A and B are shown apart, each in its own frame.
Chain A
Amino acid sequence: MNSGAGSRPKLAVWKFASCDGCQLTLLDCEDELLEVAGRVEIAHFLEASSARLAGPYDLSLVEGSITTAHDVDRIQEVRAESKSLVTIGACSTAGGIQALRNFSDLDELLSVVYATPSFLSTLDTSTPISDHVPVDFELRGCPIDKRQLLEVIGAFLAGRKPNVPDHCVCVECKARGNPCVLVAHGTPCLGPVTHAGCGALCPAFNRGCYGCFGPMESPNVESLICALTEMGMPPEDVDRVFHTFNAWSEPFRHAGRREERP
């Protein structure tokens, strides 16, 4: 994305089923926000601006998962209008927490929440954007990390690869100087199978990683489950710990007892 004077690249932010936290991360870049706004033209970002400029867009950030028939079409339009499309957050990269519906019976869920489920039109799955259109880069996290978001935007502007390593949380954990909570406290931790990016926040707060960045590059879930089980974690808790915000991503999908719905 090369920008001569006067032609700033156009940035668009799109929302699908999500909590808004990932796009809020952009507004949370307090120190950089005005600079970003100067470097790119914010062409579509409904959380921040009523102005809506027509495409094509140089960079689209997409938040949220696909859960309705309408969104199945809308993501195609977004892709067609975007030179680069980057998905941000667990919803858009893995289906999000709402992908738990993929494991259970939708009608049952509907009736728990709504008195008159027939008013609703929704798909019975929540799926990541990459199931529907080609994606240029996936930024993980529930929510995404703000330094990483700036890094991705900066990398796209500079035409380089974002420095977003795919190794696990443990690498960050040790670089931060945390002793391992799994080894030292016997606290279950998903760090060894979870994608880095958060900076090993949970272990720094004496808590086990709960997997909000989804699976790392080569997750050995089976081996970790053995270790967790040996530490005394019952199978239903193993199941729960893998089935949160990235439940639908492989191989978390098959971890524990909760199997993918046939």
Chain B
Amino acid sequence: MPADSDESTGRGPMTPVLYRVEARHQELADTVTIRIAPVTERLTDPEPGQFEMLLAFGVGEIPISISGLGDGGGELEHTIRSVGAVTKALCTSAVGDLIGVRGPYGVGWDLDRATGHDLLIVAGGLGLAPLRPAMLEALANRHRFGRLVLLVGARDPGSLMFVEELERWRGRFDIDVAVTVDAAPPSWRGDVGVVTKLLSRAPVNFGNTTAVVCGPEVMMRFVAAGLADRGVPPGQIRLSMERNMRCAIGHCGHCQLGPEFVCKDGPVFPWDRMEKLMLVRER
């Protein structure tokens, strides 16, 4: 019978909990990171790669990945690109505003299973946001992994996020960071081109690598295929998929991707479960 964790708290699975916007940081012209903290009830701490449903009251509710965790007080960070009504409302929310939160949902990056492997993190555009907590976790447990490599692709230098952090990581001897952009002004000193180009240069032992990838679907497909070609076991290539989502608990049916519910079976999937599906158009 119903084993509903929410039963104990008296909430339905679709009832949000109130969080307050604590801080707001403009990452890019259209992208904002908000830090939110529980007003009273506190949700379970999320794993890197999981997401939450954020509700802008009267506007709507959408899935947003965790882009960072606070320092133990139950704070959550979310990095949101304003593309429509709800994201706009969240991006323009002010410090002190209340939003509704449900979650955390889904399967995260599961770095535990990468212990002993080289760890390759590949981000395209906004995809860096859900990968940031993975990066932070890897850094916090640096000894558990072999090489740690971060490859970042962006449209142009101006649309790179978390620039200061990237700079800091770039300065560390125990991580390799490479950044490429699709188009760049002459002043740009980094790589130009799609992120797949960086793969061959990634200083990892492909046969013993776990790769976590997030970005637009095509980018993930090429990266995953490229990594598989180079010998990364398909089960160790993990992608974070995106689908329209209304409930995040497998009731609304929107996020189906073949046999998978992206909300509860994902959003992070190994490449061996995605490869065939991603080749089917309009799947």
Chain A residues at the B interface, C-beta cutoff of 8 Å: 158-161
Measured between beta carbons, the chain B residues less than 8 angstroms from A158 are 58-59
Contact B60 A159 (CB under 8 A): no
Q: How far is the CB of A216 from chain B (nearest CB, A)?
A: 19
Contact A161 B58 (CB under 8 A): no
Give the distance in Å from the alpha carbon of A160 to the alpha carbon of B84 in the complex.
9
B183 within 8 A of A: no
Q: How far is the CB of A87 from chain B (nearest CB, A)?
A: 20
Give the distance in Å from the alpha carbon of A158 to the alpha carbon of B84 in the complex.
14
The 9 closest A-B pairs by CB, nearest first: A160-B59, A158-B58, A161-B85, A160-B85, A160-B60, A158-B59, A160-B58, A159-B89, A159-B59
Give the distance in Å from the alpha carbon of A161 to the alpha carbon of B62 in the complex.
13
Q: Is the interface of A mostly helix, strand, loop or mixed?
A: loop
Contact A161 B60 (CB under 8 A): yes
Q: How far is the CB of B17 from chain A (nearest CB, A)?
A: 21
Measured between beta carbons, the chain B residues less than 8 angstroms from A161 are 60, 84-85
Known: A160-B60, A161-B60. 13 other contacts (CB 8 A): A158-B58, A158-B59, A159-B59, A159-B85, A159-B88, A159-B89, A160-B58, A160-B59, A160-B85, A160-B86, A160-B89, A161-B84, A161-B85
Give the distance in Å from the alpha carbon of A160 to the alpha carbon of B89 in the complex.
9
What are 11 A-B residue pairs whose CB atoms fall within 8 Å in the complex?
A: A158-B58, A158-B59, A159-B85, A159-B88, A159-B89, A160-B58, A160-B59, A160-B60, A160-B85, A161-B60, A161-B84
Give the distance in Å from the alpha carbon of A161 to the alpha carbon of B60 in the complex.
9
Q: How far is the CB of B252 from chain A (nearest CB, A)?
A: 15
Chain B residues at the A interface, C-beta cutoff of 8 Å: 58-60, 84-86, 88-89
Give the distance in Å from the alpha carbon of A160 to the alpha carbon of B92 in the complex.
13
Measured between beta carbons, the chain A residues less than 8 angstroms from B85 are 159-161
Give the distance in Å from the alpha carbon of A26 to the alpha carbon of B84 in the complex.
28
Measured between beta carbons, the chain B residues less than 8 angstroms from A160 are 58-60, 85-86, 89
Q: Smallest CB-CB separation from B84: which chain A residue?
A: A161
Q: How far is the CB of B89 from chain A (nearest CB, A)?
A: 7
Measured between beta carbons, the chain A residues less than 8 angstroms from B86 are 160
Measured between beta carbons, the chain A residues less than 8 angstroms from B60 are 160-161
Q: How far is the CB of B54 from chain A (nearest CB, A)?
A: 14
Q: Smallest CB-CB separation from B89: which chain A residue?
A: A159
Q: How far is the CB of A161 from chain B (nearest CB, A)?
A: 5
Q: Smallest CB-CB separation from A163: which chain B residue?
A: B60
Measured between beta carbons, the chain A residues less than 8 angstroms from B59 are 158-160
Give the distance in Å from the alpha carbon of A160 to the alpha carbon of B60 in the complex.
8
Q: How far is the CB of B174 from chain A (nearest CB, A)?
A: 46
Q: Smallest CB-CB separation from B59: which chain A residue?
A: A160
Measured between beta carbons, the chain A residues less than 8 angstroms from B88 are 159
Give the distance in Å from the alpha carbon of A159 to the alpha carbon of B84 in the complex.
10
Q: Smallest CB-CB separation from A2: which chain B residue?
A: B92
Q: Smallest CB-CB separation from A162: which chain B residue?
A: B85
Q: Smallest CB-CB separation from B56: which chain A residue?
A: A160
Q: Smallest CB-CB separation from A155: which chain B residue?
A: B85
Q: How far is the CB of A2 from chain B (nearest CB, A)?
A: 10
Q: How far is the CB of B159 from chain A (nearest CB, A)?
A: 25
Q: Smallest CB-CB separation from A161: which chain B residue?
A: B85
Q: How far is the CB of A103 from chain B (nearest CB, A)?
A: 36
Q: How far is the CB of B126 from chain A (nearest CB, A)?
A: 21
Q: How far is the CB of A4 from chain B (nearest CB, A)?
A: 14
Q: How far is the CB of A155 from chain B (nearest CB, A)?
A: 9
Give the distance in Å from the alpha carbon of A159 to the alpha carbon of B59 in the complex.
7
Give the distance in Å from the alpha carbon of A159 to the alpha carbon of B92 in the complex.
12
Give the distance in Å from the alpha carbon of A161 to the alpha carbon of B59 in the complex.
7
Measured between beta carbons, the chain A residues less than 8 angstroms from B84 are 161
Q: How far is the CB of A53 from chain B (nearest CB, A)?
A: 28
Give the distance in Å from the alpha carbon of A159 to the alpha carbon of B58 in the complex.
9
Measured between beta carbons, the chain B residues less than 8 angstroms from A159 are 59, 85, 88-89
Give the distance in Å from the alpha carbon of A100 to the alpha carbon of B133 in the complex.
61
Measured between beta carbons, the chain A residues less than 8 angstroms from B58 are 158, 160
Measured between beta carbons, the chain A residues less than 8 angstroms from B89 are 159-160
Give the distance in Å from the alpha carbon of A159 to the alpha carbon of B89 in the complex.
8
Give the distance in Å from the alpha carbon of A37 to the alpha carbon of B89 in the complex.
26
Q: How far is the CB of B102 from chain A (nearest CB, A)?
A: 19
Q: Smallest CB-CB separation from B60: which chain A residue?
A: A160
Q: Smallest CB-CB separation from B58: which chain A residue?
A: A158
Q: How far is the CB of B57 from chain A (nearest CB, A)?
A: 9
Q: How far is the CB of A152 from chain B (nearest CB, A)?
A: 13
Give the distance in Å from the alpha carbon of A73 to the alpha carbon of B89 in the complex.
36
Give the distance in Å from the alpha carbon of A217 to the alpha carbon of B84 in the complex.
20
Q: How far is the CB of A160 from chain B (nearest CB, A)?
A: 4
Q: How far is the CB of A9 from chain B (nearest CB, A)?
A: 16
